């Protein structure tokens, strides 16, 4: 198990996300740290049409939303690159320090940390019996091409299983070494100026505000709902949650579902409708929405009039535009006091940031 494998594992673990994603435009090139930005002024002439000048400022005003999203994506990519680099640097440092402390030395091209990992990982991998490998083969045999037997793939299967076990042992080793070394990663993502407007739960003066961008037809959002409920229960009286809409283009029923939730909000029952919609995330056809409204006791005449008027489409559009300006491209996405988190993350991830924010607020 080499230091190169160490870097690959740390990078993979940092970049894994769970969420529904919009169809993305070509990614913005990542500017290297220290590189100079363009000195182009918005007053500069970038084209002429019939002898009339077109300035960069005019173009940027016309395509302001696209430029805002591009800039937000760039900031996000730059931070993710830096965070991954910091994590890899820290892991390499703690592993090398542990290797030298254990008495290992560089031997030619073989570094001390490689020798240390060989001892700590490779030598501790259990030998796999034929029965264990057969059991692994049986799990995937329905996906194996016709004619391929267990004996034919046994060597590859053994490498795969040992590789998975090696990753588990390596992750455990890294966590132990970081704890022993007292590692603290102080790099913090830039805080975003996120408008906390919309239906909310929790005290208005809470020291921690979570703004959630979500889609009622997104399965990851439905999963995240359970985790968010746990977080709010564990932090009752300390955290405010603000819900904002971001129905994605591939979810045809999501916009009308979002409007239905906004109509319920007009009657003071947003989160009751929110729960109904997530409970029936696969059944959000327009004709079924009144049934969910009736189930939570809404005034149906008012609800139906609200839905038919289309007035709440403006609320949904406002939220979506705000999300796009922030560079949000997947749901669910959360901003905890302006710190971004994307995906159906476990309650522990929320709690880590909440605890930091509460400690800083004292």
3-state DSSP: the chain helix, strand, coil percent, rounded to 5? 55, 10, 35
Q: In the chain, what are the domain boundaries? A: 1-21+57-190, 200-361
State residue 104's pLDDT score.
Answer: 95
Residue 8 has pLDDT above 60, yes or no: no
When the pLDDT of each residue in the chain is averaged and rounded to a whole number, the result is: 87
Considering only 44-48, 241-245, 298-302, which range has the smallest mean pLDDT?
A: 44-48
State residue 39's pLDDT score.
Answer: 56
Residue 34 has pLDDT above 50, yes or no: no
State residue 191's pLDDT score.
Answer: 87
Q: Higher confidence at residue 26 or residue 244?
A: 244
- Band of pLDDT at residue 142, cut at 50, 70 and 90: confident
What's the rounded mean pLDDT across residues 319-331? 92
Residue 351 has pLDDT above 90, yes or no: yes
What's the rounded mean pLDDT across residues 5-34? 47
Multiple choice CATH, 200-361, 3.30.930.10, 3.20.20.140, 3.40.50.9100, 3.40.30.10: 3.40.30.10
Report whether the peptide linkage leading into residue 233 is cis, meaning its omega lies within 30 degrees of zero: no
CA 109 to CA 101: how far, in whole Å?
Answer: 20
Q: Are 43 and 56 in contact (CB under 8 A)?
A: yes
Task: Give Cβ neighbours of residue 248 (< 8 Å, ≥ 6 apart).
Answer: 20, 21, 22, 215, 217, 218, 254, 331
Q: What is the pLDDT of residues 218-259, one digit of tens each?
A: 999 999 999 999 999 999 999 999 999 999 999 999 999 999
Q: What is the pLDDT of residues 56-102, one digit of tens each?
A: 999 988 988 788 778 877 887 888 899 899 999 999 999 999 999 99
State residue 48's pLDDT score.
Answer: 94
State residue 28's pLDDT score.
Answer: 33
What's the rounded mean pLDDT across residues 176-183? 94
CA 195 to CA 319: how far, in whole Å?
Answer: 10
Q: What is the DSSP string of 142-163?
A: GGSPTT--HHHHHHHHHHHHHH
State residue 15's pLDDT score.
Answer: 39
């Amino acid at each position: 198990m080499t230091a190169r494998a160490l870097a690959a594992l740390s990078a993979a673990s940092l970049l894994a996300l769970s969420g529904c994603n919009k169809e993305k435009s070509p990614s913005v090139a990542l500017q290297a740290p220290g590189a100079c930005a363009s000195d182009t002024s918005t007053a500069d002439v970038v084209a002429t049409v019939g002898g009339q000048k077109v300035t960069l400022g005019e173009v940027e005003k016309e395509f302001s939303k696209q430029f805002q999203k591009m800039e937000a994506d760039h900031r996000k990519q730059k931070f993710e690159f830096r965070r991954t680099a910091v994590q890899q640097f820290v892991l390499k440092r703690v592993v090398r320090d542990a290797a030298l402390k254990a008495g290992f030395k560089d031997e030619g091209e073989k570094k001390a940390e490689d020798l240390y990992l060989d001892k700590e990982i490779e030598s501790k991998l259990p030998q796999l019996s034929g029965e264990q490998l057969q059991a692994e083969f049986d799990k995937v045999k329905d996906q194996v091409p016709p004619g391929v037997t267990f004996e034919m793939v046994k060597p590859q299967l053994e490498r795969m299983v040992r590789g998975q076990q090696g990753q588990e042992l390596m992750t455990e080793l890294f966590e132990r070494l970081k704890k022993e070394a007292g590692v603290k990663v102080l790099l913090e993502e830039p805080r975003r100026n996120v408008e906390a407007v919309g239906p909310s739960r929790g005290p208005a003066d809470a020291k921690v505000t979570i703004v959630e961008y979500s889609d009622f037809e997104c399965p990851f959002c439905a999963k995240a709902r359970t985790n968010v409920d746990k977080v709010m229960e564990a932090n009752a009286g300390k955290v405010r949650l603000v819900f904002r809409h971001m129905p994605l283009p591939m979810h045809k029923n999501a916009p009308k579902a979002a409007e239905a939730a906004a109509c319920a909000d007009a009657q003071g029952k947003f989160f009751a409708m929110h729960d109904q919609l997530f409970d029936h995330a696969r059944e959000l056809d327009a004709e079924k929405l009144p049934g969910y409204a009736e189930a939570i006791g809404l005034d149906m005449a008012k609800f139906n009039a609200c839905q038919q008027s289309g007035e709440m489409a403006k609320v949904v559009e406002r939220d979506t535009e705000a999300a796009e300006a922030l560079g949000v491209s997947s749901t669910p996405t959360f901003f905890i006091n302006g710190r971004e988190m994307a995906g159906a993350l476990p309650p522990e991830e929320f709690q880590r940031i909440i605890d930091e924010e509460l400690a800083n607020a004292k």
